[in-house]
Amino acid sequence: MGRTADAIAEGEAIALSAARLQLKNRILISTIAGNENFDADSFISDAREVIEQLAAESEKADEDLRRLRKRAWGRHTQSHGTHDYRDKDVRNLRKRSKQSAGVAKRLRELIEHPDRLRELIERARDAAWGDVSSNIDTRLNIEAMRPDEDPDYERMREARMQALRMVDLQSLASQTRAREKALGKVEKAKAKGRK
């Protein structure tokens, strides 16, 4: 493979990584927030939409690079910035344009292959599950940590004790008063009923 083919393959890999991230987020929203069961086939249209957007971005980059190349052609003066291209940049702009067009073409081909889209969706699902399991592990490690395992235990102890006194104990006292008041009403009602 030549440099252009390598660059196209790398661009496709980057685009697929971005697609996997977008699909992962859609899977998380659907399954967790939407409380739906995961079904890879139900995400085929999402995968096509995401890939279509990325292909369109690559095509837009190709168009922009072509326009920049035409403007740069025949200009031999000193450039005045990063994107102020000159004739000496035409070859590089052509190469970048060809790479963007190649990435767009590969992505458009991918849209027509449901098996490859399912593979992308499965990898996105694996990434989503990785996020969920990591969050659960972190949460369990924090909540189930014993004092002798927590390096900040002594430093944070006073804050925890203050929160216990000001929030938890006051809430418990309020709940207890409400329960006692409710029980008092029940007892009065029973006493009235006996008379």
pLDDT digits (tens, 9 = 90+) for 78-134: 877 777 788 888 999 999 999 999 999 999 999 999 999 999 999 999 999 998 888
Q: Would the pTM count as exceeding 0.85?
A: no
The pLDDT value recorded for residue 138 is: 81
CA gap 40, 15 in Å, rounded? 20
CA gap 115, 55 in Å, rounded? 19
Which segments in the chain show pLDDT lower than 70?
1, 142-149, 193-195
Residue 184 identity: G
Every domain of the chain and the residues it spans: 3-143, 154-194
